[in-house]
Structure 1
Amino acid sequence: MIIRVRKEDLQIKENEAFRSAARTVNSPFTDKILNALSPRKFSMIVFILFDRTTDPIDHVYHIQLKMALNTENDPLMCKCFPISLARPAFKWFKNLPRGSVDSFRSLCDRFIGQYYGNKCSAKDISSLFTIKQHDDERLQAFLTRFNLTKSMVIECYPSTAVQAFKLAMTRGTPFHTSLVVNTPKIMDELNERADGFVHLEEEEAANARKTSIISTEKKSKVKIR
């Protein structure tokens, strides 16, 4: 006999399990945040980790950009915030008094107050030419990091920002080749064109994961035989 479980029942059980686990942790969040249901179609987002060396205001802005479709869901914004913290900053979060955070606003106020000393002053154009894309850094993460730095530059000609971005990119990548063949005049055009390459990069990464899983399964079957 086959027992079919409805998606609604599965979602309820998952949320109950989450709330039960949350109560066992000495969380700074109030019960209202911990017990709030998560959206069904929400997929976890990858953030640039805050390691206590960068501007906390920029980091909050980065989270809001990444969570653009969910900024009205205050409990979800709160729950995703700790994921964006590297170990030293996460330790600060973990040591907040239990139940002391009741909104994303209050969490951000505490966070910025703690690391306000890191607040960056205005930058000049030369700061854009010191940025380099890391070997393992995806295009989406690099775009976010570059645009955050550009937003702090007081005076920046559009064509200069585009040239700085080209120099900062890893050579030989599909998007870098596209920029060399046909260079955009402004950053808005560059960002718009980058969207297609970001999706392509994500799809290739997903295919690589699938191939790796299939390869692992085949090796396991061979060993069993």
Structure 2
Amino acid sequence: MSHPLAPSAKGWTTCSPRFLLSYHSLRAPRGFLVPKFPTYDGSNDPFDHIMHYRQFMTLDIGNDTLLCKVFPASLQGQVLSWFHRLPPNSVDNFRDLSEAFVGQYLCSARHKQNISTLQNIKMQDNESLREFVKRFGQVVLQVEAYNMDAVLQIFKRSICPDTPFFESLAKKPPTTMDDLFRRANKYSMLEDDVRAATQQVLVVRQTSRSGVERSAKLPDRPRPSDRRQEGPSCPERPPFTPLSISMRSFSL
């Protein structure tokens, strides 16, 4: 069974009954090939899927009828089954199809953040600049609309003021998010180098301290003069008794 949107041997002659009758006579433009879409299964943001679908169909973005007919090729599983359950002739244009699609899978949409969410992000103790910038940037991506000056002020209040990076931002404020993150990456590399050098110094000091402690625990070696005094002891001689007679008496 051929896909409802797959071109037949005679061209694009098949069409889903969900579209109006005027769509049935549409043939694919010469040389048109259905792009290889990342198919949607209902687990991701439907707004993102519509945006990506339009990007893949850039060359034919003005052909509303073609956008409708090719759209099911970007669906899979239960989502494709949902499409085939749409009432007949219920799709008049791609806007109608997009609204029906987004409404069906709105529960999978990412929760959009406002700029006040950024004010709750603070740099934690022992958190590196690289880790904080990554965490801050992930939230910025979820903010639907923001003012660059406001984001910069929030960012500056969130980091430690007594740092070279803070001073750099104060002297020359970035004009774009790309500039902010590029400079943050530069100072993150500097911070990494300082941390690595500090760690190396601590290791050297610890190694030196351990060597001194081991030397202090070793027993004192006897000196050469001490060795001569050591060894088997000789028996003590009794004290001499002085003679009470003269040597002449022995010759008698």
- Which is greater in Rg? 2
What is the TM-score of this pair, normalised by structure 2? 0.43
What is the TM-score of this pair, normalised by structure 1? 0.48
Higher relative contact order (CA 8 A, sep 6+): 1
* Greater fraction helix: 1
